[in-house]
Amino acid sequence: MIIVFKPTVDGVLLACGSLADHPGSTLMVAKDGRQLKEKLRFSGIEDQIVRVGFDPSTNTSRLLKNVFTNTWTRISPLDPGPLKYIDLVLRHGDADPEDLVRLLWSCNGDVNAMYSKKTRISLRYYNYMREVTRSWQRLCMFSRPSFTNGLLFAEVDSPHEISDIFCRWLARKNPDVPVAVVTDGTAWIGNGEFVGLEHFTTISAAFVENLQGSADDEGIDELWDVYYDSQMIEKRRNRGLAKKMQPLGSSTLSKMARRDRYKVERGISSCTLDGFI
Amino acid sequence: MSVSVEKLTNGHHRTLSERMQFLSSGTKYDSCNQSAVCHAFGPDGRCIQLYKTLLTNYCAGECAYCPNRCERDVPRVSLTPEEITKITWSFYRKNAIEGLFLSSGIIGDAEITSQKQLEVVQLLRQQGFTGYIHVRMMPGTPKYILEQIADLANKFGVNAETTSSINYSEICPNFDYKNDVLQRLKWTRDLIREKRREYRGTGHIVGANDTQFVVGAVDEPDRDIIRTVNKFMDKYALRRPYFMSFDPIPDTPLENGSPSPKWREQRLYQASFLLKDYGLMHKDLEDVYNDSGNLMNTDPKLELANMHPERFPVDINSASMDELLLVPGIGPVSANRIIHSRPIGSEEELARMGAVVSRASPFIDLNGVRQTNLASFTGGYS
Ligand code: SF4
């Protein structure tokens, strides 16, 4: 038997439930009906097929209870709940949803086994979850949107699918302005009601780019440099720690972060207020 | 000694950028980070997540360690509430900060100063600012202003600076420890409790009571500091203390003092985490101090373990949470993970749980085998 599932949280949980009913089945992932047809034609498989996760959402929490019999205990304050865990893993550029289903199935109903890092595969997927979280958090930390014509605008280039969650975060942080986060020709819009759209939606990036004019935040970069430099305690310079905290990767996220990273590497010029105080 | 409010206009011949630099520089030793998103890290590795500024560096106070004390001959500048809000908004929209940290020199008296601070916070909130605001209040701030600040700021508090009235009067001669500091810590605790009840379930962040100690300005041992931290945790619901290492400033009464070694601050933080995260009491740490009552430049948890060989080895697969927490290299998260993943079969598995095996191994027993290292082989741990 072949279990075909959609790479969503529902799809993964339903596939896991089907695998429990039909152990030994082959797993196959497909984004939609068309991809499914193509995959089947290509593989030439003619086994019985079970399709799961393609219908509109069922009760996801109930699906989780079908797969895991015990309750989740938070081990680390950094750990998200199991549904969020699955969601984050599915966003990872290297994650294989079929492997993920097998991992959940191998937990034998113990939800905490997903977090235990006891086996190599659970460690790998736990790390995937953490990597996606870290990429998203780095965007939140080091991305510096522009504020143009009353629109907060950011571009995201990441191997993981995190633009939508970053857009939601930015929109929550700035509830009084519309927010656009652009990736690969698509713009995620938050607080869309300010520009006549739904609260959270996607539109073509070209539409947002039309709104671009001269930024309202000119001069901020220079002011930031003054502020950043003012916080330095020369006697406590700690290059190793600073490089770890302001990683090289942060430089790719914004010009401001690139300059901060440069100062972490090279130090701030000796013209500071330390002489004065 | 008193500085009039009008004098605040002085310094305005300097550019905004210059005044901003003076006043932000005046807060660089202040620790105020909340546990949310950091947006940059300085070359010293410290997180920058708030726009930290003084309202003014005019000050009527004579605190012996402070670069802003009134008798020092330094350029005095200030920012208007409008200027502070403008800078805060600009950085905030740019996603360079999470909010504002506002402190100040004393203008006239504590009441006038805290009113000015309140004005800034009110202005920001009126403009729809939803970011984080932390106000470091003046010793002696009246209760009615604290109440208004509590309505608008996410965090506010008064610095204790030291551990006793006698020490305090030595370094902050204009204020009274019991009344201007401890009484305010108590009011802050009560207001925070009230706000927590009020905002429950709304997502509004209400910070815990916090305070800062200047380490090394007066001759007080670490034992006294840790004991005071513990007392404040019990009495004023202090969640975590901040420590600021004393650095002598020219033209101050303490200019000839010795700077506090950098590691002292770090060891004090480690000891305070043992109170906060490990549930220990200050008296549990009695063994880790040297004869003068100071911490040594080693991890206090490792020191504690070495002083109590009778508590080890701890059996990884049967120990209680409290026992696991005593093991160097095992923190609250890894202990929790171990308990949920037992049985643990190997050191490799233990490392995956987040334990630092090289530190933990002399103190643990894994599947009936006591782990060893050179120190234990030579009798260092038994
Ligand atoms: S009150 Fe004391 S510590 Fe605060 S600025 Fe004035 S002199 Fe400095």
Per-residue pLDDT tens over the stretch A111-123 = 888 888 888 889 9
HSE at residue A145, side-chain half, CA atoms within 13 A, is 29
User: Ligand 1 center to residue B66 CA distance, Å?
Assistant: 6
CB B110 less than 6 A from any atom of ligand 1:
no
What CATH number is associated with residue B136?
3.20.20.70
Written as six digits, the tokens of B121 are: 């916070």
**How much of chain B exceeds pLDDT 90, in percent?**
67
**Does B139 lie in the same domain as B40?**
yes
Q: Which residues of B touch A78 (CB under 8 A)?
A: 333
pLDDT confidence band for B293 (50 / 70 / 90): very high
* Model pLDDT, residue B165: 96
Distance of residue B43 Cα from the nearest chain A Cα, in angstroms: 4
List, for residues B172-183, the tens digit of each pLDDT value: 999 999 999 999
User: Ligand 1 center to residue B7 CA distance, Å?
Assistant: 17
Is residue B307 in a domain? yes
**C-beta of residue B152 within 8 angstroms of C-beta of residue B131:** no
**Does B310 lie in the same domain as B279?**
no
**C-beta of residue B145 within 8 angstroms of C-beta of residue B114:** yes
* Model pLDDT, residue B382: 31
Q: Which residues of B touch A130 (CB under 8 A)?
A: none
Q: What is the mean pLDDT of residues A87-97?
A: 96
CB B105 less than 6 A from any atom of ligand 1:
yes
Query: By C-alpha distance, which of A213, A152, A157, A226 is closest to A185?
Result: A157
Q: What is the mean pLDDT of residues A126-154?
A: 93
What CATH number is associated with residue B314?
1.10.150.320
Provide the ipTM.
Answer: 0.84
Residue with the bigger pLDDT between B36 and B159: it is B159
Written as six digits, the tokens of B128 are: 């729809």
CB B158 less than 6 A from any atom of ligand 1:
no
* Model pLDDT, residue A202: 94
List, for residues A26-79, the tens digit of each pLDDT value: 899 998 888 888 887 877 776 788 889 888 767 888 889 888 988 888 777 788
Which range has the worst mean pLDDT, A92-101, A199-208, B36-45, B186-195?
A: B36-45
Q: What is the mean pLDDT of residues B213-232?
A: 96
How many residues belong to chain B?
A: 382
Is pLDDT of B240 > 60?
yes
* Model pLDDT, residue B12: 62
Query: By C-alpha distance, which of B241, B304, B294 is closest to B272?
Result: B241
Is residue B294 in a domain? no
CA distance B165 to B178: 7
**Does B322 lie in the same domain as B189?**
no
List, for residues B85-119, the tens digit of each pLDDT value: 999 999 999 999 999 999 999 998 999 999 999 99
List, for residues A159-214, the tens digit of each pLDDT value: 999 999 999 999 999 999 999 999 999 999 999 999 899 999 999 998 887 766 66
Please name the member of A176, A229, A237 whose beta carbon is closest to the beta carbon of B44.
Answer: A237
Q: Which helix (H) or strand (E) holds B47?
A: strand B47-48
Query: If you count residue pairs, one on A and one on B, with CB atoms under 8 Å apart, how many are there?
Result: 157
**Does B304 lie in the same domain as B253?**
no
Q: Which residues of B touch A244 (CB under 8 A)?
A: 45
pLDDT confidence band for B32 (50 / 70 / 90): low
Is residue B18 in a domain? yes
Query: By C-alpha distance, which of B210, B267, B194 is closest to B35?
Result: B210
3-state secondary structure chain A: CEEEECCCHHHHHHHHHHHHHCCCCEEEECCCHHHHHHHHHHHCCCCCEEEECCCCCCCHHHHHHHHCCCCCCCCCCCCCCHHHHHHHHHCCCCCCHHHHHHHHHHCCCCCCHHHHCCCHHHHHHHHHHHHHHHHHHHHHHHCCCEEECCEEEEECCCCCCCHHHHHHHHHHHCCCCCEEEEECCEEEEECHHHHCCCCEEEEEHHHHHHHCCCCCCCCHHHHHHHHHHHCCCHHHCCHHHHHHHCCHHHHHCCHHHHHHHHHHHHCCCCCCCCCCC
**Does B157 lie in the same domain as B63?**
yes
CA distance B141 to A241: 37
* Model pLDDT, residue A105: 92
Residue minimizing CA distance to atom 1 of ligand 1 = B61
On the 0-12 / 13-18 / 19+ scale of CB atoms within 10 A, B25 is: buried
**Does B360 lie in the same domain as B258?**
no
Contact B45 A222 (CB under 8 A): no
Q: Which residue of A has its CA nearest to B252?
A: A277
Query: Which of B288, B322, B341 is the last residue in one of the domains?
Result: B288
Is residue B334 in a domain? yes
| B202 in A contact zone (CB under 8 Å) | no
Q: Which of A147, A223, A237 to mutate to test the interface with B (most CBs of B within 10 A)?
A: A223
User: Ligand 1 center to residue B349 CA distance, Å?
Assistant: 52
- CA quadruple B207, B274, B30, B237: dihedral, nearest 10: 30
CA distance A100 to A85: 11
Is pLDDT of B258 > 80?
yes
Q: What's chain B's average pLDDT?
A: 88
**What is the number of domains present in chain B?**
2
Is pLDDT of A274 > 50?
no
**Does B179 lie in the same domain as B96?**
yes
Is residue B382 in a domain? no
Query: Edge-to-edge strands of the sheet including B369-370?
Result: B314-315, B364-366, B369-370
Query: Which of B288, B321, B349 is the last residue in one of the domains?
Result: B288
Is residue B293 in a domain? no
**C-beta of residue A95 within 8 angstroms of C-beta of residue A131:** no
* Model pLDDT, residue B340: 83
Q: What is the mean pLDDT of residues B38-58?
A: 88
Q: Which helix (H) or strand (E) holds B206?
A: none
* Model pLDDT, residue A211: 66
What string of DSSP letters covers B309-373?
GGG--EETTT--HHHHHTSTT--HHHHHHHHHHPSP--HHHHHHTT--HHHHGGGEEETTEE---
Query: By C-alpha distance, which of A274, A243, A49, A38 is closest to B21?
Result: A274
Is residue B295 in a domain? no
**Does B133 lie in the same domain as B31?**
yes
CB B268 less than 6 A from any atom of ligand 1:
no
Which range has the worst mean pLDDT, B86-95, B161-170, B235-244?
A: B235-244
List, for residues B49-83, the tens digit of each pLDDT value: 999 999 999 999 999 999 999 989 989 999 999 99
Query: By C-alpha distance, which of B90, B105, B83 is closest to B7?
Result: B105
| B48 in A contact zone (CB under 8 Å) | yes
List, for residues B325-368, the tens digit of each pLDDT value: 999 999 988 998 899 888 898 888 888 888 999 999 999 998 77
CA angle B230, B232, B233 (to 5 degrees): 65
* Model pLDDT, residue B59: 94
**Does B314 lie in the same domain as B213?**
no
Q: Which residues of A touch B46 (CB under 8 A)?
A: 231, 233, 236
Please name the member of B38, B43, B247 whose beta carbon is closest to the beta carbon of A268.
Answer: B43
CA distance A112 to B227: 38
Residue with the bigger pLDDT between B231 and B48: it is B231
Is residue B279 in a domain? yes
**Does B86 lie in the same domain as B140?**
yes
Query: By C-alpha distance, which of B225, B213, B226, B219 is closest to B159?
Result: B213
Q: Which residue of A has its CA nearest to B337?
A: A75
**Does B183 lie in the same domain as B52?**
yes
| Contacts by residues A269-274 (CB-CB < 8 Å, ≥ 24 positions apart) | A272/A229, A272/A230, A272/A232, A272/A234, A272/B25, A273/A230, A273/B21, A273/B22, A273/B25, A274/A234
Domain span at residue B178 reads: 5-288
Q: Measure Cα distances from B32 to A149, A230, A243, A277, B344 in Å.
A: 34, 16, 21, 21, 40
* Model pLDDT, residue A71: 83
List, for residues A202-248, the tens digit of each pLDDT value: 999 988 877 666 666 678 889 999 999 998 887 777 888 888 888 88
Q: What is the mean pLDDT of residues A107-111?
A: 89
Which range has the worst mean pLDDT, B20-29, B31-40, B304-313?
A: B31-40
Omega of the bond leading into B313 within 30 degrees of 0 (cis): yes
Query: Which of B288, B311, B326 is the last residue in one of the domains?
Result: B288
**Does B304 lie in the same domain as B284?**
no
